[in-house]
């Protein structure tokens, strides 16, 4: 799988990065925890590392969609779908690639976040990601939609924490750039989805 390294962008804010993660063997079980912007827990679920689907600083985790069907700006998540979820201790966003049971890529859902953290002291290890309002939906057709800009405005960060506000907006722009360039982790790869579903 061809992987294009991220570009160097002087305008991109520097985010405090989490501790580097050790290499996780294929199939390692993880508990995934999502935090809301205020730090409260939203959900937790289990997944398994897909070691061949990502290279550092990314970790790919496979999980099944077990909730009811959700339709988000052209991207559907249907019960039984496979999600290949990409997390990083360095990059302040994550990406969920959604595959139908037949291996067809439905699209990507990206979240602006704080860099993810990994607690190896829990059993299984706990990977935590802290959401920061803005999301981007990307479809295989090339269509993109930015979501929840109203929530970011309502949070009042532009006045209360302008540096964080600028960082969130800049990271949304970086996600859109990576989608246009088909950069990591926006890489449709039927071989990866076939391995993960097998």
Bridge-based pairing state of the strands 93-99 and 144-147: unpaired
User: Encoding tokens for residue 42?
Assistant: 């939203």
For residues 84 and 60, is the Cβ–Cβ distance under 8 A?
A: yes
pLDDT tens per residue, range 79-88: 999 999 999 9
Torsion of CA 137, 85, 12, 38, to 10 degrees: 80
Q: Residue 110 in contact with residue 94, Cβ under 8 Å?
A: yes
| Dist. CA 71–CA 89, nearest whole Å | 29
pLDDT at 195 over 80: no
Model pLDDT, residue 10? 41
Tokens of 134: 């803005």
List, in order of start, the domains of the chain with CATH numbers.
Answer: 29-197 (2.40.380.10)
Predicted TM-score (pTM) of the model is 0.88
Cα 62 → chain centroid: 12
């Amino acid at each position: 799988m061809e992987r294009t390294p991220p570009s160097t962008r002087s305008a991109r804010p520097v985010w405090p990065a989490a501790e580097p993660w050790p290499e996780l063997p294929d199939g390692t079980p993880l508990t995934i925890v999502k935090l809301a912007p205020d730090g409260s827990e939203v959900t937790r679920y289990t997944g398994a590392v897909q070691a061949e689907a990502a290279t550092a600083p990314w970790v790919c985790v496979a999980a099944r969609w077990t909730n009811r069907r959700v339709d988000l700006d052209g991207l559907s998540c249907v019960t039984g779908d496979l999600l290949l979820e990409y997390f990083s201790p360095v990059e302040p966003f994550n990406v969920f690639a959604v595959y139908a049971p037949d291996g067809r890529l439905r699209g990507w859902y990206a979240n602006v976040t704080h860099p993810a953290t990994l607690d190896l002291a829990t059993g299984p290890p706990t990977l935590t990601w802290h959401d920061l309002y803005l999301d981007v939906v990307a479809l295989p057709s090339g269509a993109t939609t930015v979501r929840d800009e109203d929530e970011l405005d309502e949070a009042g960060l532009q006045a209360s924490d302008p540096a964080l506000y600028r960082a969130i907006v800049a990271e949304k722009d970086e996600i859109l750039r990576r989608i246009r360039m088909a950069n990591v982790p926006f890489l449709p790869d039927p071989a990866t989805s076939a391995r993960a579903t097998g």
